[in-house]
Structures are given as C-alpha cells and as structure tokens.
Amino acid sequence: MEVVAVVPAAGSGERLGAGSPKALVEVAGVAMVTRAVDGLLASGVVDEVIVVAPPDHLEEMAAVTTTGRVVPGGHDRVASVALGLAEAPDADVVLVHDAARCLCPAAVVSAVVEAVRAGAPAVVPAIPVADTVRRARPEGGVELVDRTGLLAVQTPQGFDADLLRRAHAAAGEHRATDDAGLVEALGGRIVTVPGDPRAFKITTPLDLAMAEALVRAL
C-alpha cells in the first residue's frame, strides 16, 4: 500500500509577518517545511512526500526540501492540496499535513496511517478544547458554547486516496478549512485519533517563539 503525504506549503505567511512564505521560516535554524517533511518520513510509514510550494518560490523550497518532491501550488489551500494530489496517482493512502504543524510527533503520523490501513476512510488527529468557548452573535454580544465533546482538529489527516480524490473533484467552489471538511461534504464519516499539543499550527510570532522554545527543550 503506497502512502503519500501532501504538504500544502504555498501560503504567504502574512500573519507571521516574516516577509517570506511561512514554510521557509526557520524554527531554531531549520525551515518549517524541512522539519515537516523530515517528521513525516521519520515516522517510517510514509513512502513519499510532495510539498506544494508558492509558484514564485519553487527553487528556495526545493533547496530546503531535499527528501521531498516540490510542485507549484494554487490560489488557496484547497487548490494547493488538489495540485499535490494530482502528483500522486498511484497512492493508496494520502496524508495531508500543514507545513506549519512542523513539530508534530511521529507517533501521531503513524496512528493516522494505521487507522486508515485498518479501514477508516478519513482520519483526523484531534485534541480536546481546553478553553471556555463563546460564539460572537451577528447582532452583538457573545453566547456560551458547551465545550463538552469539542475537539480541535490537527494534521496530518489521512484518507483513502480515492475518497480524497473524489472529495476534491466534487469541491467546486466549496472552501473547507481542511480536507476532512471536503470529505464530510460528500457524506463521508470522519474518525479521530488522539492528536498532540506539539502538533500545534505556527501562525503568529508568538507561536514561532513557542516552537523555538519547544525545540530547545526537547
């Protein structure tokens, strides 16, 4: 069974304020994309990694992605994943993993792959939401959301490759924030495995500082 990981890394990283694509930003001296690709391969359950890069930064991305294949991305995350997926026609299992979750432990990667191999068509790592959650009302004010059972979803997300291909083919203009959302829109059931706090997404300068502290502490 061929397991291919697609790493969408074509975002601009505006919120990080780095002035270069986020995936090229270094965490303690190593680019996020390098850490993400090496982390996937270190799990021992991934055969190939395809990095989807900003079309105007292909060479820089390839220079720091020696163990993965680099292809140009699209105008948003869904388009970028679809372009990566198209490069893996023989894959039986596809993982989609944000470069920004570059400190994800290998155990999470293997748990996701194991669940797909065991027959789950769509698998996401998830952790319980620790904060109290409120929803902003359009008319003003906020309402309490019962956090019982609420989960924060991470990546890598794992899929039966044909199901993910069908979900992307059917996506049209539907813009889900993750790939499980596209599968769900097709009526597919999503299975969870335990995520890990270290798989957090680096989005802001504070996240980057926390990631650097984590690398130093490990």
**DSSP character string of 56-85:** GGHHHHHHT-TTSEEEE--SSHHHHHHHHH
DSSP state, residue 140: S
Number of residues that bind ligand C5P (CB under 6 A): 17
Residue nearer to ligand C5P on the CB measure, 75 or 189: 75
| Residue 11 near ligand C5P by CB under 6 A | yes
**Interface residue with ligand C5P, options 10, 40, 108, 112 (CB under 6 A):** 10
Residue nearer to ligand C5P on the CB measure, 8 or 181: 8
Decide if 39 contacts 102 (C-beta within 8 A).
yes
Residue nearer to ligand C5P on the CB measure, 100 or 193: 100
Beta bridge partners of 135: 143
Binding to ligand C5P (CB under 6 A): which residues in 132-151?
none
| Residue 2 near ligand C5P by CB under 6 A | no
**Interface residue with ligand C5P, options 23, 116, 190, 208 (CB under 6 A):** 23
Binding to ligand C5P (CB under 6 A): which residues in 92-121?
98-100
How far apart are alpha carbons 201 and 205 in whole angstroms? 12
Decide if 184 contacts 192 (C-beta within 8 A).
no
How far apart are alpha carbons 38 and 21 in whole angstroms? 19
Binding to ligand C5P (CB under 6 A): which residues in 175-194?
none
Per-residue b or e along 138-149, where b marks 16 or more CB atoms closer than 10 Å to that residue's CB: eeeeeeeeeeee
Binding to ligand C5P (CB under 6 A): which residues in 56-85?
73-77, 80
| Residue 16 near ligand C5P by CB under 6 A | no
Residue nearer to ligand C5P on the CB measure, 38 or 114: 38
Query: 100: helix, coil or strand?
Result: coil
Residue nearer to ligand C5P on the CB measure, 48 or 98: 98
Decide if 94 contacts 5 (C-beta within 8 A).
yes
State the CB neighbour count (10 A cutoff) for residue 189: 9
Contact positions vs ligand C5P (CB under 6 A) = 8-11, 22-23, 52, 73-77, 80, 98-100, 203
